[in-house]
Structure 1
Amino acid sequence: MTMTHRTRTTTTTTCLLLLLFLLLFALLSDAKIHFSETFDDEDASSRWHKSTFKEDENMAGEFVVTRAIHEGKKTDSKANKGFKTQTNGRFFAYYSSADEVFDNDGKDLVVQYSVKHEQNIDCGGAYVKILPESSEMENFGGSTPYNIMFGPDICGKGIKKVHFILAKHDEHGNEKQYQMKTTVKAKTDELTHVYTLVIHPNDDFEILIDGKSEIKKNIEDEFDILEPKEIPDPSATKPDDWDDRRMIVDEDAEKPEGYDDIPENIADPEHPKPDDWDDDIDGDWEPPMVPNPEYKGPWTQPMIENPKYSGGPWEAPMIKNPNYVPKSEPLALMRNLKHVGFDLWQVKAGSFFDNIVITDSLEEAKSFGKKLFGKKSRKKEKRMQEDFEEADRKKKDDEADEWARETRKNVEDPDALFPPGMEPPEDYDPDDPAHDEL
């Protein structure tokens, strides 16, 4: 039997797809999941422990395992379960622990979870912390040593960012926190969003939101952990002849003759003296005045380009920093990781957390996320939200129309058409037939 070109092409394509599938399967098979939580089973609540942080001040908020809110702002009985902040104006400090300690020595570290701000968040955190085994978790709170803080933080119009903070500890246990310099904008709507942090062994890192890459940089460049490689030369001084003025006054320019005689205002040429104006009867005619287009204000010498301009403000030349010490190991290397915690403050509670996974494989995290919350689920959730908002708008419009009809039918005073505290418009005429439409 002779194999055609088309048959050979199909066979080759099938083999390539099979090869890719086997490669992906091998990658996922080697992946290690350090920690995962979907809150779907009956034991979910028992895996998360409430810290004693702020309890003595009666400021400790509650997390509850519940189902998500979708349609009509009501809990959806078919929705997935998650971990939700429950009390307004409180601190929330809850934690869980991996079955065994883990690290990212020579491998990726991927932290991923979803959050849905069902309360239309105005001010509050929604980030997660990864902590070492040595941390005392009973009173877990803001001062508890951690390694990574990652996730959104929102407060008013000024703060809508995704935190990525690395905490480093010296030999005495003192902690210093390093914040990512670039601002990554957090999502503030009421839909579910998946936040993913990937740290590679070479200190490259990436942050994704809903699978879309938002930043991809190196930790040494993005975090001020090490001394800079170069610094301005402290011994350099600004040259005496350095001139950073781009423009200078033209000292040779002279004021034009008659410049000061130009009036600021002139008689309006569009409104001459009326023909029937009688000075004896009407008084002296005073024409209306308008700004004079020829008037340019007080004269000043013009600016010209500086022929001695040195190219801008002087800056000292850069030299090698004698205090710079190259890293001896990856800056983001973390060992003996064990705990996962939420240490949050929220003015208005209602953030819904779900699908937490910590692994050494981005592909595993993607697979985990798609399995639990794929594109179809996101589209359905968005459509449900839009349908609810549209129904809510229609309901309010119908109520307004009904109120207007009933008011017009039942009241004798036309001004009663307007709710208490609302004045009728100045041009409102109660006898106008057009108002009968109400």
Structure 2
Amino acid sequence: MVRLTIFAILLLSLVSVCLSEDDSDEAVVTEEIDDVVPDEEIVYVSPTPSGNTYLAEHFDDEGRFKQKWIVSEAKKDDMDEEISKYEGMWAIEPPQQDGLKGDQGLVLKSKAKHSAISARLDRPFVFADKPFIVQYEVAFQEGQDCGGAYLKLLSQSKQSSDLRKFNDKTPYTIMFGPDKCGTDVKLHFIFRHKNPNNGTMSEKHCKKPKDRVEEPYKDKRPHLYTLHLRPDNSFTVFLDQKIINEGNLLEDFTPPVNPPAEIEDPSDKKPEDWDEREKIADPEAKKPDDWDEDAPPMIPDESAVKPDGWLEDEPEMIPDPNAEKPDDWDTDMDGEWEAPLISNPACEGAPGCGPWKRPMINNPAHKGKWRPPLIDNPNYKGKWKPRRIPNPDFYEDLQPFKMTPISGLGFELWSMSNMILFDNIIVTDDPAVADKWAAETFSLKIRKLDKDSEGVVMRLVHYTNEHPWLWAVYVIVIGLPIVMLIVFCCGSTPEKAEMKRAADAKKTDAITPDYEDEDVVDDSRPLHKTSPASKSDLELPHNAASNKADGEHVSDGEAEHIDEEEDEDDDDDEPPPLQESIAEGAGDAPRSPKKVRPRKE
């Protein structure tokens, strides 16, 4: 054990020397382990967009925000003066929960008010041969019961030229983002399509996402919403950079972009003799003569007999004799007071009380209303439908991606929750630009929140995965002492072995060897006890033993007689174990009587 301990100390010393001679990262292993995981600071710098962008807003510069963003001064049409104004308050603030230093966002401060704010793109986006990508963050910092947080991408038009008049009637090309009221949870993707025949605009609503999107309304964390729209009419919707919806503009919207080529003739009417009945009553069927439509379904059981002991004169319920009229009982208001009814005590041991009636059973004669059986209708012509005619409003737009150009974007909302934070809006035609923007903003926020919420153990695991060489340190610093402790506690030593043998020798049921040859006995040890003999000592013939006990001398003849009797016994029996008869150090435990053969001279 001493050698093992010395070896472990030398091994740890060697490891320490090796680590101290390694590179600068590994030289601080001891300090890192003591501190569990170094407190890695996540540094945030306001992002600068790279590549082709049409708008990139991080809201970190409040002065720039006031120059670019315009709060609506409009009013809603067809509403009372008191509730028609867009008077919701907006502010630039850092997030409420574990935000990055220097990071700020656009916060909706008001609830139960109409709120609108917008900004122009750096240049209009024209839907031609490049994809359209919009991405932004939303954090429901106080949760959400009812209200939206969607973004409107405003159409390039005369109505949207003055953003101070931005309201619900301002034309938009795309509406995208979350919306919730009660249990109705949506992630909108709506685009307005222009009819090529008459120029009218109609909304096309995307199918529902394949995944659930309720979590962003409850966890109070930032979430990233991204829409990719491509020239081949395909689209993809991302939530926190994971696909939750995808499809095609021509196939996955309601109503569809293109109307049907044929429609039902609105002027066509069903002929009066058109018979749509598949089955009719058999006109030749007749009701059987024995069919009784008036027989009741239930009749009294005539075979029933009133049970013995039935108390017909006793009611089942009687007024409570112990009840008393309340002191505040008003006869004029409450009527005559009557004691409440209780079960009749006289009926407790009887089979029943009150008038006895026969139980009801099913009436075998009851058949109900007779109806003739149904047969196939010989005049059946099928379900009538109007004839189909060519659709006068038919058109075929195979490129709905080519929407109305976008010149601005904004939030036009009504919400029952306040403190909704919007951040890091970007409009681009390059997916890589949007991904880089998210990596410099949203991803840092999530890392910060996860770091603040995770425990020490998880932080240690993550840090070790980034520095795999630490596993060797853990094995040496933690595993080796455990092995040494197990060896020390459970290992065998010479002292322990000697103690075990001594303990085994004290057991009363231990097996001792038998000696058949009496010559192997050590003559230096006495054959007989010097203490007074007992029944467990040597046994002699009765007469000789008595004489010896009386102190008399045994004659030679008597001794020979004793020897002859002893020899006869020895012919039949095996020699007794001499160790049991001569051992004096075996304790005071009683021994079974043994016959010992006396020595002959």
TM-score, structure 2 normalization: 0.48
Residue 161 of structure 1: how far off its partner (Å): 2.4
Residue 87 of structure 1: how far off its partner (Å): 1.0
Aligned residue runs from structure 1 range 133-282, under 5 A:
133-134=156-157, 135=160, 136-157=162-183, 159-167=184-192, 176-180=201-205, 182-184=207-209, 187=214, 188-190=217-219, 191-210=221-240, 211-219=242-250, 222=253, 223-224=255-256, 226-234=258-266, 238=270, 243-245=275-277, 248-249=280-281, 252=285, 254=287, 257-258=291-292, 260-264=294-298, 273-277=306-310
| 1:245–1:216 distance in 2 versus 1, CA, 3 Å | farther
Per-residue CA deviation, residues 316-339 of structure 1 (Å, 9 max, x unaligned), is 354442432333x73342465221
Q: Does 1:69 align with 2:102?
A: no
| 1:339–1:284 distance in 2 versus 1, CA, 3 Å | closer
Per-residue CA deviation, residues 140-199 of structure 1 (Å, 9 max, x unaligned), is 122223222222222234x4323333335799x997341316345753434433333232
Helix, strand or coil at the partner of 1:330: coil
Higher RCO (C-alpha 8 Å, min separation 6) = 1
Match of 2:393 among 308, 320, 323: 323
Distance 2:103 2:380 in 1: 65
Q: Does 1:373 align with 2:394?
A: no
Aligned residue pairs: how many?
348
Q: Does 1:100 align with 2:123?
A: yes
| 1:31–1:347 distance in 2 versus 1, CA, 3 Å | same
Helix, strand or coil at the partner of 1:301: coil
Residue 247 of structure 1: how far off its partner (Å): 5.3
2:386 alignment partner AA:
A
Q: Percent identity?
A: 30
| 1:322–1:336 distance in 2 versus 1, CA, 3 Å | closer
Helix, strand or coil at the partner of 2:172: coil
1:286 corresponds in structure 2 to 357
Helix, strand or coil at the partner of 1:138: helix
1:209 alignment partner AA:
L
Residue 341 of structure 1: how far off its partner (Å): 0.6
Gaps of 5+ in 1: 1-28, 386-438
1:324 alignment partner AA:
F
Match of 2:58 among 38, 41, 52: 38
Whether contact under 8 Å (1:118, 1:351) holds in the other structure is yes
| 1:310–1:382 distance in 2 versus 1, CA, 3 Å | farther
Aligned residue runs from structure 1 range 389-404, under 5 A:
none
Match of 2:106 among 65, 68, 83: 83
Distance 1:52 1:341 in 2: 14
Whether contact under 8 Å (1:243, 1:308) holds in the other structure is no
Residue 32 of structure 1: how far off its partner (Å): 2.8
Whether contact under 8 Å (1:196, 1:209) holds in the other structure is yes
Helix, strand or coil at the partner of 1:116: strand
1:160 alignment partner AA:
V
Whether contact under 8 Å (2:136, 2:422) holds in the other structure is yes
Distance 2:306 2:451 in 1: 70
Residue 220 of structure 1: how far off its partner (Å): 7.0
Distance 2:366 2:239 in 1: 56
Match of 1:117 among 137, 140, 151: 140
| 1:79–1:249 distance in 2 versus 1, CA, 3 Å | farther
Distance 1:219 1:129 in 2: 22
Residue 61 of structure 1: how far off its partner (Å): 0.6
Whether contact under 8 Å (2:100, 2:445) holds in the other structure is no
Residue 232 of structure 1: how far off its partner (Å): 2.0
| 1:176–1:334 distance in 2 versus 1, CA, 3 Å | closer
Whether contact under 8 Å (1:178, 1:225) holds in the other structure is no
Distance 2:302 2:148 in 1: 63
Structure having the larger proportion of residues in strand = 1
1:214 alignment partner AA:
N
Residue 350 of structure 1: how far off its partner (Å): 2.6
Residue 94 of structure 1: how far off its partner (Å): 0.8
Aligned residue runs from structure 1 range 124-135, under 5 A:
124-134=147-157, 135=160
Per-residue CA deviation, residues 203-240 of structure 1 (Å, 9 max, x unaligned), is 33343334223241324762455543221245655466
Match of 1:349 among 418, 425, 446: 418
Whether contact under 8 Å (1:249, 1:304) holds in the other structure is yes
Gaps of 5+ in 2: 1-48, 315-352, 455-601
1:51 corresponds in structure 2 to 72
Per-residue CA deviation, residues 74-101 of structure 1 (Å, 9 max, x unaligned), is x656695322210121111111222222
Whether contact under 8 Å (2:277, 2:377) holds in the other structure is no
Helix, strand or coil at the partner of 1:368: helix
Distance 2:250 2:86 in 1: 36
| 1:205–1:76 distance in 2 versus 1, CA, 3 Å | closer
Residue 60 of structure 1: how far off its partner (Å): 0.8
2:384 corresponds in structure 1 to 314
Whether contact under 8 Å (1:197, 1:208) holds in the other structure is yes
Per-residue CA deviation, residues 50-75 of structure 1 (Å, 9 max, x unaligned), is 122249956511122223334xxxx6
1:333 corresponds in structure 2 to 402
Distance 1:379 1:253 in 2: 86
- Report the aligned-residue RMSD: 4.5
TM-score, structure 1 normalization: 0.63
Whether contact under 8 Å (1:163, 1:179) holds in the other structure is no
Residue 378 of structure 1: how far off its partner (Å): 8.3
Helix, strand or coil at the partner of 1:338: strand
Whether contact under 8 Å (1:145, 1:175) holds in the other structure is no
